[in-house]
């Protein structure tokens, strides 16, 4: 994969996130980190929740960041 392929794939991920098609978007991940920072949940709970979000993405008609990158 060259530089330009990587740039196109990164742009595809950003566009998919803007359209709400990515279940584990940066905003979701940031929200989980804020909850850890506030002491609401532990790191392990956040990791478990993220895995659950990824697992349910296809059922909800969404994709994951990894799939968006590979298919982008």
Phi, psi of 63, deg, nearest 5: -130, 175
Is residue 1's pLDDT more than 80?
Answer: no
**Which domain covers residue 31, as residue numbers?**
3-71
- Give the pLDDT of residue 56: 95
For residue 64, the SS3 value is: coil
Confidence of residue 48 (pLDDT cuts 50, 70, 90): very high
pTM metric for this prediction: 0.82
Token pair in block for residue 29: 């991940």
Reported as a single tens digit per residue, the pLDDT across 31-41 is 999 999 999 99
The whole-angstrom separation of Cα 31 and Cα 27 is 6
Count of structural domains, the chain: 1
């Amino acid at each position: 994969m060259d530089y330009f392929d990587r740039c196109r794939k990164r742009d595809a991920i950003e566009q998919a996130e803007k359209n709400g098609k990515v279940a584990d978007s940066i905003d979701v991940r940031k929200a989980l980190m804020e909850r850890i920072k506030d002491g609401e949940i532990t790191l392990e709970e956040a990791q478990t929740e993220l895995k659950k979000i990824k697992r349910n993405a296809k059922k909800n008609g969404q994709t994951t960041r990894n799939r968006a990158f590979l298919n982008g």
